[in-house]
A and B are shown apart, each in its own frame.
Chain A
């Protein structure tokens, strides 16, 4: 989700008409977006992450206009192919941030709203779609301050008078001291060379961190240079199409630039648009409704596609500004949205398949029934825990690395996956000291360990806290559980630091230790704040 806030007056100006609050909300919802807030001046909208074209208010107005059938603006063309400018890409940039695209925009008439929105959008585009400028970033410059052609390359540390900074700074210093420099230093990594864009008079951008003071864009700027840099050539060049469409919608004229790589060059923006042909039957077949040729074409127009009938297929022209269309499924979704999810009639699937639960589920249910029958209430606890609870509180000191550890948890006390259910259950009892005795609780769920690979084992554990509790009582419970499982078991003496020495036993199944039970050690009880004698068991299922 990307959240945007649009100025209503500016939106209506772009749209060429005003809408009341209800109507605006209705259209936005029908387009598949969500109105989050609405005031007299502004409307807040949640947009899907794959639609950067509508994150821009200009693109949003275009989409809305198309959707309302107010006008059909389905095609964007840049007149003339002669480049207004050339950008040469140097040899040092290759491993760092190899690709650049751009355009020249002439005859812009900025006002407060349009400049504000343009700056906000480029920022948002670079942070969301550009992955915090790592994948892609955009620079806007006053074209009239640029001298001659441009060079894009990586250079050694140099001095640079950056936008909004009163003195020249070394590029390396910007990365260390400047707020923007520190925020985006990661895009450069530990490279000894710095990506810069230069004109005949020097550096106009420390890419993708800061532009120069000299080429700053203001409200009175008429002509612009747009440069887009990044790590993916396709994304860098396709994004230029999106920006070109936006400037064309704003009434400016857009001119191309020539980007020269070593041994090849390209004229940008390409304004490329692919065609996809989809059989009608496939569109109707995926959505599950009968729509018809004419309707599909009309719905396609609503979503900004030029569409035409070609034999039994419909040919869709993908708009220049759409970055998210990978294959026909994406087009079909747009048709479904335009058709309206609310109008899709539910159709049942015919199937002979019988329902089945897993054996593990069946067994868990039966065992839970036994436990409830024995008077135990069920607890559910987090799988995430800490060494302190899982080992230290249980008097287990030998935590070798045979357990699953997580890193960078927001909740700092969560550092690992639990290796036993007992600490969680003792925790439950510990926070219930004032509850009536006896207290009987159980949990049937997973614990985690590592022996070569990660083991995820289902365990059953039960705890009884009662002034009168003793070893025999828990033995009786364990035997009742094992007998109900029809297991041939043996009980052996055991020594376990969480239990009282001499009052602890293990359950043996075919020579393998599958569980432990006994009277919980008083130190463990104190660690969990438990005040009464407590007995417990845990067995592997």
Chain B
């Protein structure tokens, strides 16, 4: 029960009704509090309220004006007591109203355009007008209405007709009586009297809680829900990929998204007429449409390798076309061609990156125009395919996945392989990464006699395998607040 309700019930004794005013005074909860409490209590049958219909009165604006001075007809007859008045001199509205009423009440008469007092009028000057008396009394005390209605009915009705007063019907509470049910409720409630409800600072400081009981709450009451803020599931996957790499001694690298085709394709030994370079797969840009290839030395060597291997001319114009990177392997290659940066590192040098890549695709349940890829390289001497398989097996084991390798072709690696991970739910092997040993045509430009293990994998695909909550790739982007709120965090 609410404390207002308890306060009201405590004021009441069986068989001793109280008026609303008395209850307001006794309970100390204020008129609104009492009204709210008794409304609920009477519905539940704890109390009974007696009501009475009554009529109350109030003065209109015009009524208030006359109550504070006099009625217009009074003003007129008072003037007439001094001298007669020609009717055409009464121009103002008030005098016109006075003339109307004085005539109706036969206080005046009009003879040849001259207004004169009647006997009734003379009497009214000395005795006063009844309506004016009633109006002034009601203005002072509206509760006199009932009495006035009884004793001065004609005047009250005239005032209502003249719209100097208005009445309002009311359903008033006259008394409130407690029922046995109310008494029971109060007893049940006050059983916990003396127990501590809300604990407060003072109670803690003064230890006033000592020796008292804490009131037990109903733990089944429904509560307002709390919604935890959280990281995006894909971000969590990215974080865990990064943690795995760093745990295994890899250093993080990153690179730009907008690059010349040179760094996306040519340095990765992809021929200039290769189908992967076509607009159907790659986003080319109209602004900027070209990006200058700054590393002229590397460019010269790339041109040489391409022309020798692919037996056709290599064109700088083609390599300068601006693209959105289609693979993070470009980040690895840019770093590989900048090896002097790692003078203080010993071989094997282990690097990784995670970043957004772009494919000119239509969106469906497993394709997106942009998604995250992770790429790794190990630069060393005499590294082997067995080393590559070992590294990848360990990385994916720590992400909770069993893997296997199958031969595959990518222009920039030889031997090349595709890595498959086992999907426990679907009981099938899913392709998760491409890997291999970088071609000599690529590594030779960076440094003689190095071998480079390289791989690239989609982060979303990994998430699709490891997170049962995620079923469709497009859900991961452009999502609403509801989606993120409903993700599980554990």
Residues of A within 8 A of B (CB): 29, 32, 34, 48-51, 128, 131, 134-135, 231-235, 285-289, 326-327, 329-330, 332-333, 336-337, 341-342, 344-349, 351-358, 360-361, 365, 368, 371-384, 401, 403-411, 414, 417, 424, 427-429, 431-432, 434-436, 439-441, 446, 448, 450, 453-454, 456
Contacts and interface: CB of A to CB of B under 8 A. Distances in A.
B437 A329 contact: yes
A454 B246 CA distance: 30
Given A379-B479, A380-B234, A409-B360, A341 B405 contact: yes
Contact of B256 (A329, A409, A411, A456): A456
Given A341-B417, A382-B369, 11 more contacts: A288-B387, A289-B386, A344-B405, A347-B386, A355-B248, A403-B287, A404-B258, A417-B324, A428-B478, A435-B485, A450-B288
Contact of B407 (A341, A361, A376, A405): A341
Interface stretch (B53-61, B212-220, B343-351): B343-351
A369 B440 CA distance: 44
Interface stretch (B6-14, B38-46, B223-231): B223-231
Given A330-B414, A404-B287, A377 B484 contact: yes
Contacts of B440: 327, 329
Contact of A429 (B251, B356, B417, B481): B481
Nearest to A330: B414
Contacts of B471: none
Contacts of A434: 482
Contact of B286 (A332, A348, A380, A405): A405
B391 interface: yes
A410 B363 CA distance: 9
B273 A414 contact: no
Contacts of A333: 407, 414-416
Given A357-B252, A407-B284, A286 B437 contact: yes
Interface string B353-389: 0001010111100001110000000101011111101
B285 A405 contact: yes
Contact of A326 (B229, B291, B309): B309
A126 to B, nearest CB: 13
Given A351-B249, A408-B360, A326 B370 contact: no
B439 interface: yes
A51 B389 CA distance: 24
A378 B489 CA distance: 12
Contacts of A401: 287
Given A406-B285, A450-B288, A380 B235 contact: yes
Interface string B247-285: 111111110111000000000000001010001100111
B480 A431 contact: yes
Nearest to B451: A286
A242 to B, nearest CB: 15
Given A49-B409, A380-B477, A405 B287 contact: yes
Contacts of B234: 380
Closest 6 CB pairs of A and B: A288-B384, A288-B386, A355-B246, A32-B407, A48-B409, A346-B390
Given A327-B440, A365-B239, A353 B404 contact: no
B166 interface: no
B418 to A, nearest CB: 9
B249 A355 contact: yes
A404 to B, nearest CB: 6
Nearest to B259: A454
Contacts of B476: 380
A436 B482 CA distance: 9
Contacts of B356: 383, 446
B229 A440 contact: yes
A346 B386 contact: yes
Contact of B229 (A289, A375, A383, A411): A375
Contact of B479 (A353, A411, A428): A428
Nearest to A442: B229
Contact of A448 (B232, B257, B275, B437): B257
A439 B481 contact: yes
A448 B258 contact: yes
B249 A353 contact: yes
B239 A358 contact: no
Interface of B: 225, 227, 229-232, 234-235, 239, 242, 245-254, 256-258, 273, 275, 279-280, 283-288, 291, 309-312, 324, 345-346, 348-350, 356, 358, 360-363, 368-370, 378, 380, 382-387, 389-391, 393-394, 404-409, 411, 414-417, 437, 439-441, 451, 476-482, 484-485
A286 B416 CA distance: 12
Nearest to B310: A232
A296 B336 CA distance: 32
Given A287-B385, A326-B441, A353 B360 contact: no
Nearest to B349: A353
Given A333-B416, A428-B479, A352 B346 contact: yes
Contacts of A48: 407-409
Nearest to A378: B232
A29 B253 CA distance: 36
B222 to A, nearest CB: 15
A347 B230 CA distance: 40
A201 to B, nearest CB: 34
A233 B415 CA distance: 28
A432 B485 CA distance: 11
Residue among A128, A134, A435 with the most chain B CB within 10 A? A435
A431 B239 CA distance: 27
B406 A34 contact: yes
B167 to A, nearest CB: 42
Contacts of A453: 288
A329 B384 CA distance: 12
A232 B314 CA distance: 12
B323 to A, nearest CB: 9
Residue among B230, B312, B346, B415 with the most chain A CB within 10 A? B415
B454 to A, nearest CB: 13
Contact of B363 (A286, A356, A374, A411): A411
Contact of B386 (A287, A358, A372): A287
Contacts of B389: 341, 344, 346
Nearest to B255: A456
Contacts of B390: 346-349
A50 B407 CA distance: 13
Nearest to A281: B382
A329 B414 contact: yes
Contacts of B350: 351, 353
B252 A349 contact: no
B273 A349 contact: no
22 contacts: A235-B312, A286-B451, A288-B386, A327-B440, A332-B414, A344-B389, A345-B386, A349-B378, A349-B391, A353-B251, A377-B481, A378-B235, A382-B478, A404-B285, A406-B324, A407-B283, A408-B360, A410-B280, A411-B363, A414-B369, A435-B481, A456-B258
Contact of A329 (B349, B363, B439): B439
A482 B217 CA distance: 42
Given A329-B415, A407-B286, A233 B230 contact: no
B415 A336 contact: yes
A235 B477 contact: no
A381 B291 CA distance: 26
A372 B312 contact: no
B284 A408 contact: yes
A298 B477 CA distance: 52
A186 B361 CA distance: 24
A218 to B, nearest CB: 33
Contacts of A361: 242, 252
Residue among A375, A384, A436, A439 with the most chain B CB within 10 A? A384
Given A349-B348, A355-B251, A356-B246, A432 B482 contact: yes
Given A32-B406, A361-B252, A332 B415 contact: yes
A351 B310 CA distance: 37
B480 A355 contact: no
Contacts of B485: 377, 435
